[in-house]
Amino acid sequence: MKILFASSEIHPLIKTGGLADVAGALPVALRQKGLDIQVIMPAYSGMLEKVSAIHQSVNLGNPFGVGDLHLLQATLPDSELPIYLVQCQSLFEREGGPYLDPQGQDFQDNHLRFAAFSWACAFVAQHGHLLGWQPDILHLNDWQTGFAAAYLKSWKLNHIPIVTTVHNLRYNGSFDLASYPETRLSNELLSLHGMEFYGRYSALKAGLVYADAITTVSPTYAAEILTPAFGDGLDGTLAALRHKLSGILNGVDYNEWSPERDGHIAQQYTANNLDGKLKNKLALQRENNLPERADAVVFGVVSRLTEQKGLDLIPEAIIPALEQGAMLVLLGSGDKALELQYLNLQARFPEQVSIRIGYDEAYSHRLQAGVDVLLIPSRFEPCGLTQLYALKYGTLPLVRHTGGLADTVFEDGPEANGFVFYDASTTALGETIQRALHTFADTERWRTLQTTAMNQDHSWDKACDQWLALYRRLRPDA
Ligand code: ADP
Ligand code: GLC
């Protein structure tokens, strides 16, 4: 079976969040299960130097009048995974990230950039035989690929089954109707049952309404998004489509995220040798000019700083713990007001708080290995990967009970592996931080929790069986 897997970011080429981790690992895992899978992504600046040799280059013409689109075929670094890069100089080769300019603002022409990328995905899905590789299924991820479903719908050619995976409903790729003509899509698709979205048009909605199957990245989030509190205006649409919606939990690429073979960390370790973890803790304290103290509970955060993540609750909730001698180490960037709040906390507790504003893949590994507790107080969390990484490193996650966090972190029972709170309030978070401190004092209990966490299996292998079953349902003939 041939699958075209479309994503706007893929680790290790480019990453802003968990989508890149998924797009870099799930296709590799599915390939090992015998699927013929290729990924497709825009050729942002610097991409061509990061992939291995270009095997094929095809000019797709100039369908948007902004310059030719080229389809380049290469291989993802450190894997056998074939990757198509969609090249268009005027749209993708610029300073900044994949979605934001260097000032952190959305690019003004994101509708056009991702319409063009999606058009190329639809082209390969529809006309792949002309390139020598015809997919049986098109697998879309998030709004950046949603227009592909609209192009396929409007071309009215052979039906190619589409799976759309929602990694985050908050980002719905909706734009002012004035820009709609630039997508070159017909007005026919702008109905209430089409892409129309509160007087705008939404790429994600196109991906949902024109898909044959919709998945999201955890069972709990799949249920949550049917409610107004989590549906971000799409709950009505999703409720009408619930017969094709399911939740498949993400996995972890343990080649990247395992303390026994992690090349980024000070000392490798296993569940049987947790002294190695202590060396990482002391190294992390040293690296951050904090006193080297084994007995101080170190709380950590690795996150995008956005409203979603509930990180505004921590600066107040953690103060009593800091006054009791705990430490906080944060790596993140995003919301400027939040960055400032954390820098102020660091100024107040310079011996206990270390804040690093920025994005640093290697440091994120050292942090996961070095802290005792990873704080994830998310208001909503479609899946969350950092708690899964934490578990493997014997770092106990402290999470709010929502989405994928609710499906993977437990405070009680035989699967207990962390700390859980329910109310998105500083009080509830503060109380849970106190429970973590008390538990840390009980060395035996802490070890048990760590060992349980480290032995839990969140490999992609499990998720692959669910993916294979879904693909087979859509293409029993392939
Ligand atoms: P989301 O996709 O909502 O950001 P996830 O938990 O699914 O949340 O994935 C986040 C990914 O991004 C993880 O791999 C995490 O380690 C990484 N990450 C987040 N912020 C940073 C940062 N500042 N530096 C390095 N890695 C980061
Ligand atoms: C999104 C979500 C996150 C999820 C990731 C990968 O960015 O916010 O919860 O883990 O996608 O699916």
Whether residue 370 is found in the same domain as residue 243: no
| pLDDT at residue 302, rounded to an integer | 98
What confidence tens digit (pLDDT) does each residue in 193-206 have? 999 999 999 999 99
| pLDDT at residue 54, rounded to an integer | 83
Alpha carbon distance 205, 174 (integer Å) = 9
In this structure, is residue 262 part of a structural domain? Answer: no
Percent of the chain beyond pLDDT 70? 100
In this structure, is residue 258 part of a structural domain? Answer: no
Q: Whose Cα sits closest to atom 15 in ligand 1? A: 386
Burial 114-153 (b: 16+ CB within 10 A, else e): bbbbbbbbbbbbbebeeeebbbbbbbbbbbbbbbbbbbbb
Whether residue 319 is found in the same domain as residue 453: yes
Q: From the CA of 385, how far away is ligand 2's center (Å)?
A: 7
Going by pLDDT thresholds of 50, 70 and 90, the confidence category of residue 419 is very high
Name residue 131's amino acid.
Answer: L
| pLDDT at residue 260, rounded to an integer | 98
Q: Is there an atom of ligand 2 within 6 Å of 168 CB?
A: yes
pLDDT average, residue stretch 86-113: 97
What confidence tens digit (pLDDT) does each residue in 22-71 have? 999 999 999 999 999 999 999 999 998 898 778 889 999 999 999 999 99
Tokens of 5: 């897997």
In this structure, is residue 107 part of a structural domain? Answer: yes
| pLDDT at residue 53, rounded to an integer | 77
| pLDDT at residue 284, rounded to an integer | 98
Q: Which residue has the higher pLDDT, 48 or 451?
A: 451
Among 364, 381, 402, say which to mutate for ligand 1: greatest number of ligand atoms within 8 Å of CB.
Answer: 364
pLDDT average, residue stretch 339-352: 98
CA neighbor of 162 nearest in space, from 132, 126, 120, 186: 126
Pairing state between β 245-247 and 353-357: unpaired
What confidence tens digit (pLDDT) does each residue in 424-445 have? 999 999 999 999 999 999 999 9
Whether residue 165 is found in the same domain as residue 290: no
Whether residue 243 is found in the same domain as residue 283: no
Whether residue 222 is found in the same domain as residue 292: no
* Structural domain boundaries, residue 413: 275-457
In this structure, is residue 69 part of a structural domain? Answer: yes
Burial zone of 272 (CB within 10 Å; 0-12 exposed, 13-18 middle, 19+ buried): exposed
Going by pLDDT thresholds of 50, 70 and 90, the confidence category of residue 14 is very high
Whether residue 88 is found in the same domain as residue 197: yes
Alpha carbon distance 157, 127 (integer Å) = 10
Whether residue 302 is found in the same domain as residue 153: no
Q: Is there an atom of ligand 2 within 6 Å of 382 CB?
A: yes
User: Is pLDDT above 90 for 17?
Assistant: yes
Alpha carbon distance 116, 96 (integer Å) = 19
Q: Is there an atom of ligand 1 within 6 Å of 361 CB?
A: yes
Whether residue 225 is found in the same domain as residue 337: no
Tell if the pTM clears 0.95, that is, is over it: yes
Among 5, 19, 379, say which to mutate for ligand 2: greatest number of ligand atoms within 8 Å of CB.
Answer: 19
Alpha carbon distance 209, 152 (integer Å) = 12
Q: Whose Cα sits closest to atom 7 in ligand 2? A: 18
Q: Whose Cα sits closest to atom 18 in ligand 1? A: 303
| pLDDT at residue 478, rounded to an integer | 87
Which of the ligands is closest to the CA of residue 23? 2
Q: From the CA of 94, how far away is ligand 1's center (Å)?
A: 23
Burial 74-95 (b: 16+ CB within 10 A, else e): bebeebebbbbbbbbeebbeee
pLDDT average, residue stretch 441-453: 98
| pLDDT at residue 52, rounded to an integer | 75
Going by pLDDT thresholds of 50, 70 and 90, the confidence category of residue 398 is very high
Whether residue 63 is found in the same domain as residue 196: yes
Q: Is there an atom of ligand 1 within 6 Å of 423 CB?
A: no
Which of the ligands is closest to the CA of residue 383? 2
Q: Is 375 helix (H, G, I), strand (E, B) or coil?
A: strand
Strand order in the sheet with 70-75: 56-59, 70-75, 82-87, 36-42, 2-6, 137-141, 162-166, 213-216, 245-247
In this structure, is residue 268 part of a structural domain? Answer: no
Q: Is there an atom of ligand 1 within 6 Å of 385 CB?
A: yes
Mean pLDDT of the chain: 97
| pLDDT at residue 231, rounded to an integer | 97
Q: Is there an atom of ligand 1 within 6 Å of 394 CB?
A: no
Owner of token pair 């002309």? 130
Q: What is the DSSP letter of 79?
A: S
Q: Whose Cα sits closest to atom 19 in ligand 1? A: 303
Q: Is there an atom of ligand 1 within 6 Å of 218 CB?
A: no
Whether residue 160 is found in the same domain as residue 15: yes
Which of the ligands is closest to the CA of residue 303? 1
In this structure, is residue 263 part of a structural domain? Answer: no
Q: Is there an atom of ligand 2 within 6 Å of 23 CB?
A: no
Q: From the CA of 151, how far away is ligand 1's center (Å)?
A: 31
Q: Considering just the CA atoms, what is the radius of gyration of the chain in Å?
A: 23
Q: From the CA of 222, how far away is ligand 2's center (Å)?
A: 13
In this structure, is residue 310 part of a structural domain? Answer: yes
Q: What is the phi/psi pair of residue 304, to 5°?
A: -65, 140
Which of the ligands is closest to the CA of residue 385? 1
Long-range contacts of 431-436 (CB under 8 A, 24+ apart): 432/398, 433/299, 433/317, 433/318, 433/320, 433/321, 433/326, 433/375, 433/398, 434/320, 434/321, 435/411, 436/297, 436/299, 436/373, 436/396, 436/398
Tally of structural domains, the chain: 2
Whether residue 410 is found in the same domain as residue 468: no
Q: Whose Cα sits closest to atom 20 in ligand 1? A: 303
Whether residue 38 is found in the same domain as residue 135: yes
The answer to whether the beta carbons of residues 13 and 41 sit under 8 Å apart is yes
> 10 Å Cβ neighbour count for 197?
22
Q: From the CA of 301, how far away is ligand 1's center (Å)?
A: 10
CATH number at residue 437: 3.40.50.2000
pLDDT average, residue stretch 407-427: 98
Q: What angle do CA 360, 366, 371 make, to 5 degrees?
A: 120
Q: From the CA of 104, how far away is ligand 1's center (Å)?
A: 17
Going by pLDDT thresholds of 50, 70 and 90, the confidence category of residue 295 is very high
Q: Work out which ligand 2 atom sits closest to the CA atom of 21.
A: 6
Q: Is there an atom of ligand 1 within 6 Å of 304 CB?
A: yes
| pLDDT at residue 80, rounded to an integer | 85
| pLDDT at residue 275, rounded to an integer | 93
In this structure, is residue 78 part of a structural domain? Answer: yes
pLDDT average, residue stretch 347-361: 97
pLDDT average, residue stretch 354-383: 98
